[in-house]
Structure 1
Amino acid sequence: MAKKKIVLHFPEESIEKPLTYHLVKDYDLIPNILRAQIDENEGMLVMDLEGAPDQIQKGIAFLKEQNVGIQEAIKDIIVDRERCVDCGSCTGVCRPGALTMGSDWKLAFDQEKCVFCQLCINACPVRAIKVQF
């Protein structure tokens, strides 16, 4: 099984379509929604897709046919080690535990646990944390 993290941008005409259902039923994929922002005009969804590599590609092709914009989330949260002072402010708002203080009192980041909530960005007093897609 392969896993791919993607960012979906839904136009207004696609918001109410059961696209995630089709990914499960038609392509045997396991979606894990990490973040969602949807209003009446557009939507954005960050998700992991897990399944056979060929089925992931077919599922992505299906989404493109539905006019859904797709970006591969190559990089997630980026911590600028030169700016970071290892104060730990970001760890206090990171509920999934992606940002923690190591035994050496240095900030540690586990991308697998990150759900793109972006609370850490505003919590950082020196602005050492950024999101990069």
Structure 2
Amino acid sequence: MAPQKVVLRFDAQISDQPVIYKLVKDYDLVINILKANVNPQKEGTMVLDINGEKAEQGIDYLRSLGVKVKSLTEQIMQNENKCVSCGACTDICPSGALYIERPDMIVRFDSDRCVVCHLCVKACPMRAMEVCF
């Protein structure tokens, strides 16, 4: 079974609970946290890979807590025809999905590592990074 990428949005009441622990322990899920952010008000966002037979039950559990769960259907694509390998996107990419391949100094994109944060789309002066649905 392939991992399912989801975006979680939660409020302060959830941020101090062992939610990820319960997904692993109670639902036997393999969780990979791709990105997490909790603001000073303790509201947060997480991007997860969820893998396991009880993934849907785990997602239902999250929803029962008031967590907003959205399937990550967007993808980022690199338009190699537009890319000039300037490297602006590699500095801002939090997951390392964009990197410079040495010794050729060509920007490469590993879509499996991408957390769809859109930072590269904003940073690319050539508009070579594109959002696809």
TM surpasses 0.5: yes
Pairing 1:24-103 to 2, within 5 Å after superposition: 24-39=24-39, 40-52=41-53, 55-79=54-78, 81=79, 84-89=82-87, 90-94=89-93, 96-100=95-99
Alpha-carbon contact 1:98-1:114 (below 8 Å) kept: yes
Aligned residues: 130
Look up the equivalent residue of 2:47 and give its one-letter code.
Answer: V
Alpha-carbon contact 2:84-2:126 (below 8 Å) kept: no
Q: Sequence identity, in percent?
A: 40
Alpha-carbon offset, residue 128 of structure 1: 3.4
TM-score (norm 2): 0.76
Q: Is 1:10 paired with 2:19?
A: no
TM-score (norm 1): 0.76
Large movers: runs of 4+ above 6 Å: none
SS of aligned partner of 1:126 = coil
In terms of mean alpha carbon deviation, does 11-20 or 26-35 score higher?
Answer: 11-20
**RMSD over equivalenced CA pairs, Å:** 3.0
Give a deviation string over 1:76-106, Cα, whole Å, max 9, x none.
Answer: 3244x3982333422455475423568x997
> 5+ residue gaps in structure 2?
none
